[in-house]
Amino acid sequence: MAMNASEIERLIKDGIPDAIIVIEDLRGDGDHYAARVTSRAFIGKSRVQQHQMVYQALKGKMGDELHALALQTTAPSDA
């Protein structure tokens, strides 16, 4: 039930094309990641909405194949 970091990055990028993504494999087990995502698409959105956009890009894999992804989202203006 693990996913590799490049697949996570690809899915996010497919959903949010201008996203700048930094992914860290927290335990080296392919199951616990931290991702920092920056995108202009986040401007004017609440944190909940920003995270929902990333989850949407992950197409239901979050909470399923992807057990743990600590998310931090940023809009470029407030970076």
Partner 1 sequence: MITNPVIERIKQDISDNEVVLYMKGSPVFPQCGFSAAVVQILSNLGVRFKGIDVLTDPSLRQGIKEFSQWPTVPQLYVKGDFVGGCDIVREMYESGELEELLTERGVAAAQQA
> Left, alpha or beta for 22 (phi > 0: left; psi -120 to 50: alpha)?
beta
Smallest gap from Cβ 23 to partner 1, in A, equals 14
On whether the CB atoms of residues 69 and 31 are closer than 8 A, the answer is no
Residue 29 within binding range of partner 1, rule CB under 8 A? no
Reduced to 3 states (helix: H, G, I; strand: E, B; else coil), residue 77 is helix
- Interface residue with partner 1 among 64, 77, 78, 79 (CB under 8 A) is 64
- Interface residue with partner 1 among 14, 22, 40, 72 (CB under 8 A) is 72
How many other C-beta atoms can be found within 10 angstroms of the C-beta atom of residue 49? 11
Residues at the interface with partner 1 (CB under 8 A):
47-48, 51-52, 55, 60, 62-64, 68, 70-72
